[in-house]
């Protein structure tokens, strides 16, 4: 029997980034197939290729054993593929019925189409137990039901293959459980489901097969019944070249920074950071482990003053920082806190700037770089030249646009900028993401050197090896909260992997998002 959908050697490149590399995937009809991987592993790109948003550079797609040419979402719909996006594509002030027929109105006069759609929707709702009031206005429905409208929309267009992209991200645990019951019902009716997620629990609970993606490649296929959370967690995070860092025993002394009960809500009112407390001592590296998207970014942003906290307080450099008495990023820098952000393109650099300009970002107000009126270009250039030599940035050209340096060299520009300010506390996120092996070693050495000079370092990384190699103490985050803390000496991949998947105490908790 042919596969419901088969991908053959799909590759896609965006500029220098290989988003998908030689992806092969076979999904038998009438199964629920999970695709798991960290943020940025290439899952969404792959699904966008299947749904016709992007075209693959190489490779092709087969549906029911026949090669299909998908160049637009219309082609995908014609091939029987439906997609439920992470962010719903609904017209909020339309009714359910109007949303479902959108793009398939069936003629210039709406009345006929609406009549037919009403009958067809009732049949679908009955068949798949997707009960919904078809005349309700979408914006008045709870999120779980809005998602149901998306599913109905796909089925109405004749989808036999349904792709769901991170479907539970916006749902409550109860709604998520309901969703999985619906998916089971769809499967029983012969629909093939592709479930994209980075949550291990969902994969284990609902899928028949699972494929793991890492850094744009498909690294493993497993039958869900014959795998385990630990196995998948390890595959997701990946075993890199064994990292070794020469470092002596840490000599932690006084507390430089302490945070109590930090919480933060996003614009939708979802709590992204949940009562996080931590202490950071001089002369130690505190590693924050966790699958990405579990609150680490929010923690970095709150500590560095980029986004204000909603609850809790930070004690740093003799100051108490609270929601009522916040400090912005510039004020935190003045208190000698440096920050290497997780995403150097989005945050750490201005890629249109020349290197010497990007090398003072955040410190541009410092009297060192400024004359009375104009900025002191000569000082900036001289310093940039010195640092490029000291940090082995290639090419050592301060006038080159930062966009034209390689990832590793861009990262060196950012880290040099922050470390050379001689901060008391360094927050550093994903220090070696997209950095080549040689540069990784160099960056790690610099981090240890800063620690040995009595500074405190908070390291956020999704690379377990990096966390274990560098940290003196490790905190694990899951779903915005701290779920465990251990000494680096006691940490191994298995323990951390389980903690990262929050599998230690999940049995007792039952359902958790």
Partner 1 sequence: MSQAKVPTWVNIALIPVLNIMLAFLVSGLVILAIGENPIEAAGYLIYGAFGYDEGIGYTLYYATNLIFTGLAVSVAFKGGLFNIGGEGQAYIGGLGVGLICLSLDHTMPLYVIAPLAVIGAAVFGAAWAYIPAYLQARRGSHIVITTIMFNFIASSLMVYLIVNWLKEDGRMAPNSRTFEESAWLPYLHELLSPLGIEIGDSPLNLAFIWALLCCVFVWGLIWHTRWGYQLRTLGTNPTAARYAGIDTAKVTIWAMLISGGLAGFVGLNEIMGVNHNLLLNFTAGYGFAGIAVALMGRNHPIGIILAAILFGALYQGGAELAFEIPTITPEIVVVIQGLVILFSGALEHMFKDRIEGFFIRRAVA
Stretch of 59-67, 175-183, 199-207, 361-369 lying at the interface with partner 1 (CB under 8 A): 361-369
- Binds partner 1 (CB under 8 A): choice among 26, 260, 275, 370: 370
- Binds partner 1 (CB under 8 A): choice among 3, 53, 88, 369: 369
Distance of CA 213 to the CA centre of its chain: 13
**Contact map string, positions 277 to 316, toward partner 1, x by CB under 8 A:** ---------------------------xxx----------
> Residue 243 in contact with residue 438, Cβ under 8 Å?
no
Q: Which is nearer to partner 1, 244 or 366 (CB)?
A: 366
- Binds partner 1 (CB under 8 A): choice among 374, 490, 507, 508: 374
How far apart are alpha carbons 272 and 91 in whole angstroms? 27
Restricted to residues 11-30, the positions that interact with partner 1 (CB under 8 A) are: 16
| Cα angle value 81/84/87 (rounded, 5°) | 145
Q: Does 119 sit near partner 1 (CB under 8 A)?
A: no
- Binds partner 1 (CB under 8 A): choice among 67, 126, 239, 364: 364
Residue matched to tokens 């930062």: 402
Total binding residues for partner 1 by CB under 8 A? 36
Q: Which is nearer to partner 1, 346 or 489 (CB)?
A: 346
Q: Is 87 exposed, middle or buried (0-12, 13-18, 19+ CB in 10 A)?
A: exposed
> Residue 49 in contact with residue 30, Cβ under 8 Å?
no
Cis peptide before 395 (omega within 30 of 0): yes
Q: Is the dihedral of CA 366, 371, 377, 381 positive or negative?
A: negative
Beta bridge partners, 314, equal 259, 321
Q: Which is nearer to partner 1, 89 or 368 (CB)?
A: 368
Q: What are phi and psi of 491, to 5 degrees?
A: -90, 135
Q: What is the smallest separation between the CB atom of 412 and partner 1, expressed in angstroms? A: 14
Q: What is the smallest separation between the CB atom of 265 and partner 1, expressed in angstroms? A: 18
- Binds partner 1 (CB under 8 A): choice among 122, 328, 422, 512: 328
Q: Does 362 sit near partner 1 (CB under 8 A)?
A: yes
> Residue 20 in contact with residue 216, Cβ under 8 Å?
yes
Question: Hey, how many other C-beta atoms are within 10 angstroms of the C-beta on 308?
Answer: 15
Q: Does 333 sit near partner 1 (CB under 8 A)?
A: yes
User: Helix or strand or coil: residue 186?
Assistant: helix
Q: What are phi and psi of 445, to 5 degrees?
A: -60, -45
Q: Does 373 sit near partner 1 (CB under 8 A)?
A: yes
> Residue 431 in contact with residue 443, Cβ under 8 Å?
yes
Q: What is the smallest separation between the CB atom of 334 and partner 1, expressed in angstroms? A: 9
Q: What is the smallest separation between the CB atom of 243 and partner 1, expressed in angstroms? A: 23
Q: What is the smallest separation between the CB atom of 451 and partner 1, expressed in angstroms? A: 23
Q: Does 361 sit near partner 1 (CB under 8 A)?
A: yes
**Which of 3, 464, 442 shows the shortest CA–CA distance to 214?**
464
Whole-number Cα distances in Å, 2 to 34, 43, 49, 318, 351: 19, 23, 21, 67, 47
**Which of 503, 511, 512 shows the shortest CA–CA distance to 232?**
503
Q: Which is nearer to partner 1, 204 or 458 (CB)?
A: 458
Q: Does 332 sit near partner 1 (CB under 8 A)?
A: yes
Q: Does 215 sit near partner 1 (CB under 8 A)?
A: no
Q: What is the smallest separation between the CB atom of 432 and partner 1, expressed in angstroms? A: 16
**Contact map string, positions 386 to 425, toward partner 1, x by CB under 8 A:** -----------------xx-xx------------------
How far apart are alpha carbons 513 and 505 in whole angstroms? 13
How far apart are alpha carbons 143 and 170 in whole angstroms? 7
Q: What is the smallest separation between the CB atom of 55 and partner 1, expressed in angstroms? A: 17
- Binds partner 1 (CB under 8 A): choice among 68, 302, 349, 415: 349
Q: Does 270 sit near partner 1 (CB under 8 A)?
A: no
Residue matched to tokens 């030249």: 385
Q: Does 438 sit near partner 1 (CB under 8 A)?
A: no
Q: Does 330 sit near partner 1 (CB under 8 A)?
A: yes
- Binds partner 1 (CB under 8 A): choice among 39, 174, 365, 505: 365
User: Helix or strand or coil: residue 122?
Assistant: helix
**Which of 117, 27, 17 shows the shortest CA–CA distance to 81?**
27
Q: Does 451 sit near partner 1 (CB under 8 A)?
A: no
Strand bridging mode 311-316 / 319-322? antiparallel
Q: What is the smallest separation between the CB atom of 328 and partner 1, expressed in angstroms? A: 5
Q: Is the dihedral of CA 416, 418, 421, 427 positive or negative?
A: negative
Q: Does 352 sit near partner 1 (CB under 8 A)?
A: yes
Q: What is the smallest separation between the CB atom of 116 and partner 1, expressed in angstroms? A: 41
Tokens of 170: 């916006």
Q: Where on the chain is the footprint of partner 1 (CB under 8 A)?
A: 16, 304-306, 328-333, 339, 341, 346-353, 357, 360-362, 364-365, 369-370, 373-375, 377, 403-404, 406-407
């Amino acid at each position: 029997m042919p596969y419901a959908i088969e991908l053959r050697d799909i590759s896609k490149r965006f500029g220098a980034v290989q988003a998908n590399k030689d992806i092969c995937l076979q999904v038998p009809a009438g199964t629920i197939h999970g695709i798991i991987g960290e943020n940025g592993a290439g899952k969404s790109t792959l699904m966008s290729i299947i749904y016709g948003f992007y075209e693959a550079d190489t490779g092709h797609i087969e549906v029911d054993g026949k090669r299909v040419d998908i160049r637009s979402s219309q082609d995908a719909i014609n091939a029987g593929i439906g997609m439920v996006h992470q962010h719903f594509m609904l017209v909020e002030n339309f009714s359910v019925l109007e949303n479902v027929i959108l793009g398939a109105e069936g003629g210039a006069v709406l009345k006929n189409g609406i009549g037919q759609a009403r009958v067809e929707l009732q049949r679908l709702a009955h068949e798949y137990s997707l009960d919904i009031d078809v005349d309700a206005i979408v914006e008045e429905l709870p999120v779980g039901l809005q998602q149901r409208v998306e599913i109905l929309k796909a089925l109405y267009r004749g989808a036999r293959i349904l792709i769901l992209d991170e479907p539970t991200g916006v749902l409550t645990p109860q709604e998520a459980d309901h969703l999985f019951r619906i998916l089971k019902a769809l499967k029983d009716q012969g629909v093939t489901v592709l479930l994209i997620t980075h949550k291990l629990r969902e994969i284990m609970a609902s899928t028949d097969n699972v494929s793991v993606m890492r850094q744009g490649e498909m690294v493993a296929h497993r039958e869900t019944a014959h795998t385990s959370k630990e196995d998948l967690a390890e595959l997701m995070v990946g075993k890199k070249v064994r990292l070794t860092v020469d470092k002596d025993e840490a000599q932690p002394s006084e507390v430089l920074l302490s945070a109590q009960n930090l919480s933060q809500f996003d614009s939708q009112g979802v709590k992204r950071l949940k009562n996080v407390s931590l202490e950071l001592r001089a002369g130690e590296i505190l590693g924050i482990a966790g699958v990405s998207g579990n609150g680490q970014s929010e923690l970095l942003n709150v500590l560095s003053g980029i986004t204000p906290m909603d609850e809790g307080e930070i004690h740093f450099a003799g100051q108490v920082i609270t929601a009522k008495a916040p400090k912005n990023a510039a004020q935190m820098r003045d208190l000698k806190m440096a920050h290497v952000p997780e995403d150097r393109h989005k945050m750490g650099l201005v890629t249109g700037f020349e290197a010497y300009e990007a090398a003072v970002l955040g410190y541009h107000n410092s009297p060192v770089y400024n004359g009375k009126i104009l900025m002191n270009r000569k000082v900036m250039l001289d310093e940039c030249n010195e640092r490029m030599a000291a940090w082995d940035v290639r090419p050592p050209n301060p006038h080159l646009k930062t966009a034209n340096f390689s990832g590793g060299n861009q990262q060196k520009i950012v880290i040099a900028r922050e470390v050379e300010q001689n901060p008391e506390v360094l927050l550093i996120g994903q220090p070696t993401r997209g950095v080549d092996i040689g540069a990784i070693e160099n960056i790690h050495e610099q981090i240890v050197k800063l620690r040995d000079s009595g500074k405190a370092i908070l390291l956020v990384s999704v690379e377990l090896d990096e966390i274990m190699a560098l940290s003196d103490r490790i905190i694990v985050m899951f779903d915005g909260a701290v779920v465990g803390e251990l000494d680096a000496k006691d940490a191994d991949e298995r323990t951390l992997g389980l903690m990262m998947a929050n599998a230690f105490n999940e049995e007792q908790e039952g359902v958790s998002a």
